[in-house]
């Protein structure tokens, strides 16, 4: 489905991966299990003065060891102004949290999340509350699956050339 945008696929170790789907008004948040096999949607955080503090609390609560942020790109794979805004948000956040940062292609994740919720019978009002976190979990699950496949194959990361599983 998606491919890595930049940064290494990190070696699994104790601790979870926290994933963000950064939007203009809300940030969807998902977390992996400790084995880094399954992504679970958590909630959304409202963008604003408290967003970094709220994300710090979630990173601490879930013992996050890595931050994965969905990077919006066009269907051609090119980055535009929205991707620059996400990078401008994510990089200082990762530094403040003391977490390594990896980006993952988020094309169509919100659309997929919306369809999943509709097919699950979730009402419109409830979908608005859940779609951002579900989109973050799709980003994270795709990231986790790709990392697992690369480790099995011993492949190198497509952007950095680093051996899979290295930090």
Domains in the chain with CATH codes: 4-153 (3.30.420.140)
Give the pLDDT confidence of 43-101 residue by residue, as tens digits: 999 999 999 999 999 999 999 999 999 998 777 777 778 888 999 999 999 999 999 99
pLDDT of residue 66: 95
Least trusted range by pLDDT, from 7-16, 88-97, 137-146 = 7-16
Question: Which range is least confidently modeled, 34-38, 44-48, 106-110?
Answer: 106-110
Q: In what order do the strands lie in the sheet with 26-32?
A: 4-6, 101-105, 64-71, 16-22, 26-32, 39-46
């Amino acid at each position: 489905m998606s491919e890595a945008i930049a940064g290494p696929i990190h070696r699994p170790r104790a601790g979870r991966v926290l994933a963000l789907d950064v939007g203009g008004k809300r940030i969807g948040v998902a977390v992996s299990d400790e084995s880094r096999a399954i992504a679970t949607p958590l909630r959304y955080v409202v963008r604003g003065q408290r967003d970094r503090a709220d994300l710090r609390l979630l990173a601490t609560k879930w013992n996050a060891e890595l931050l994965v942020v969905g990077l919006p790109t066009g269907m051609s794979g090119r980055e535009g102004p929205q991707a620059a805004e996400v990078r401008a948000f994510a990089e200082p956040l990762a530094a403040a949290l003391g977490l390594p940062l990896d980006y993952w292609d988020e094309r169509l994740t919100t659309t997929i999340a919306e369809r999943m919720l509709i097919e699950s019978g979730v009402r419109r009002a409830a979908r608005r509350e859940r779609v951002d976190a579900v989109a973050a979990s799709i980003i994270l699950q795709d990231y986790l699956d790709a990392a697992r496949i690369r480790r099995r194959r011993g492949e190198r990361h497509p952007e950095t050339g680093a051996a899979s599983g290295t930090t």
